Structures are given as structure tokens and as C-alpha cells.
Amino acid sequence: MVTSVRGAAKHTIGVLDLQGDVAEHLDHLERLGIAAIRVKESSDLAHLAGLIIPGGESTCLARLLDIFGIKDCILHEFQRGLKLWGTCAGAILLAGKVVGEETFLPLIDIEIQRNAFGSQLDSFVSEALIPPVAQDPMPLTFIRAPKITRVGEGVDVLLRHDGYIAAAESPDVLVTVFHPELTPSLAFHRYFALKCGLTPSMEEEFPLIDSMWNSRSWTRYTRLGF
């Protein structure tokens, strides 16, 4: 269910809609019965329970956040309790240290290295069991992915994969270097919703792999004009 900004309240999760995998995240949240909105300007952040900063291109996202004056508003709402989830490029933006670069929204004590696997041609898929998130193994999609090379005090590692950290969290911030929104798994979106204090429609024992999902499911948002 994609909610209008006027209807947004503390039961709503926003998806930053400047660049990147926006519709894919909205699609997963809708499948969980979570109200969601596109966040295009600072006023859209009011009264959200959480914000997803999607994968895309971190330098482009950083510039757009500055241009549209959203960066400072995110920091303000974060101090008021807004939960954040950064996927891939979003994780880079939220990192406390980025190898060889300046930080942008350093809200979680991790060190991250961008494009750690190489070019777009070095993207890959994998699978892993992440017990805090789901009881069954879940698919993982890595696209020009970064690596988390270190976590600081107060940050829990959710997934170590092939010798590096692929997912971590603090009480208020979740980061994943892969793209859960590009798989049929709803587990991470459910996990973030719970972190935001929301209750997804799916019960704990409900299978979190949606058999109705396919790689073009998100395109219905374009057809419906969202």
C-alpha cells in the first residue's frame, strides 16, 4: 500500500526517491502490508517510522540530498527517532568511515569500501542463513557491492560472508551491502519494519519467500502511475 504524504503517520516507512531502487523497495513493503511513501523532499520525512536509502550511485545520491536540502532533515528526524536502512549505496552514505573518501551521513560506526568487488561485470548472486532475520537461507544479490571492513562498538554483525561483513546494525541503523529488494525474499524488509516498531501482516512462521514475486513485479508502480 503506497500512502500519500498527507496520510503518512508513524506507521509509515519512506523510501528515498531521488535515484536507485525505489519501486523495488515499495513493492516489497506493500507485500508485507506496510504503508510506504516516496520521499522526494524534506517535508516528506515528517512523521515516518523509518527511511530506506536505496542502492544506486552513492555520489549522485549525496549530491541530490544536498541539492534538495534533505540531508539536514534526515539528521534532524534521526535525532527524533527515525530508523534508517541503507542498501548498497545507502550503506556507503550512512557509514562512519568510507575508505579513501569523505563521509556523508556518518550515523553508524562502520568502515566501508565502495566497489570492493570490481566493476558491474563482477556482480553476483549468493545465498546465506542470517538467523536474526529469518530461519531459512535467503538469496543475496550483489551489484557493484561495497564491503564492510570494520564495525565499531555498539554495532552488531548480522552477516559475515566469504571473509567480509555484508550486513550490520546499530539500534537505529541497518546496513546491507546487497540488495534484498531484487530478490523474492521479504525477510529483510520485515526485519526493518519490526526495527521501526511496526507489525507486518505476515506472522513469524509465514514463508518469507514470495512465490508471486518476479524480477519485473516492481514495474506495476510505473503502470499505476505511483
**CA distances for 179 relative to 4, 80, 138, angstroms:** 25, 27, 12
User: Residue 37, CB half-sphere, CA atoms under 13 Å: how many?
Assistant: 22
Report the length, in residues, of the chain. 226
Q: How far apart are CA 146 and CA 50, in angstroms?
A: 23
Residues that are catalytic: 88, 179, 181
Which residue has cell 549525496? 62
- 215 CB burial (10 A radius; 0-12, 13-18, 19+): exposed
Any idea what DSSP says for residue 184?
A: S
Coil, strand or helix at 209: strand
Any idea what DSSP says for residue 215?
A: T
